[in-house]
Amino acid sequence: MDKFLNRLLIGISIVGVLGVIVVGVLIYQAMTSDWKEKVGTETSLDTDIENEAKLEAKITEGIYVPTEAEFQWIVHRMTHQKVAADMKDGSTEMTPERIDELLKTIDETDYVHEDVYLRILDEWNEGNFENAVETHNEILSLQNGTIGVATQLLTPEEEQKFIEQNFR
pLDDT digits (tens, 9 = 90+) for 47-106: 444 566 666 666 666 667 788 888 889 999 999 999 888 888 888 899 999 999 999 999
**Looking at residue 60, what is its pLDDT?**
60
Whether residue 17 lies inside any domain: the answer is no
Q: Looking at the domain assignment, is residue 1 inside a domain?
A: no
Q: How confident is the model at residue 33 (pLDDT cuts 50, 70, 90)?
A: low
Is 30 contained in some domain?
A: no
Query: Is there a domain that residue 157 lies in?
Result: yes
- Structural domain including 65 reads 45-167
Q: Is 144 left (phi over 0), alpha (psi -120 to 50) or beta?
A: left
Q: Is 7 within the bounds of a domain? A: no
Q: Is the pTM above the cut of 0.85?
A: no
Instruction: Output Rg (C-alpha) for the chain, integer angstroms.
Output: 28
Dihedrals phi, psi of 152, to nearest 5 degrees:
-165, 165
- Please name which of 149, 160, 145, 167 lies closest in space to residue 84, comparing C-alpha atoms: 149
Three-state DSSP state, 19: helix
Q: Would residue 15 count as lying in a domain? A: no
User: What ranges in 40-155 are assigned the alpha helix state H?
Assistant: 45-60, 68-79, 96-108, 114-125, 132-142
Q: How many structural domains does the chain have?
A: 1
Residue 19 lies in a domain: no
pLDDT tens track for 144-167: 888 888 888 999 999 899 889 888
Domain annotation covers residue 110: yes
Residue 54 CB neighbour total at 10 angstroms: 11
Q: What is the pLDDT of residues 105-130, one digit of tens each?
A: 998 889 999 999 999 999 999 999 99
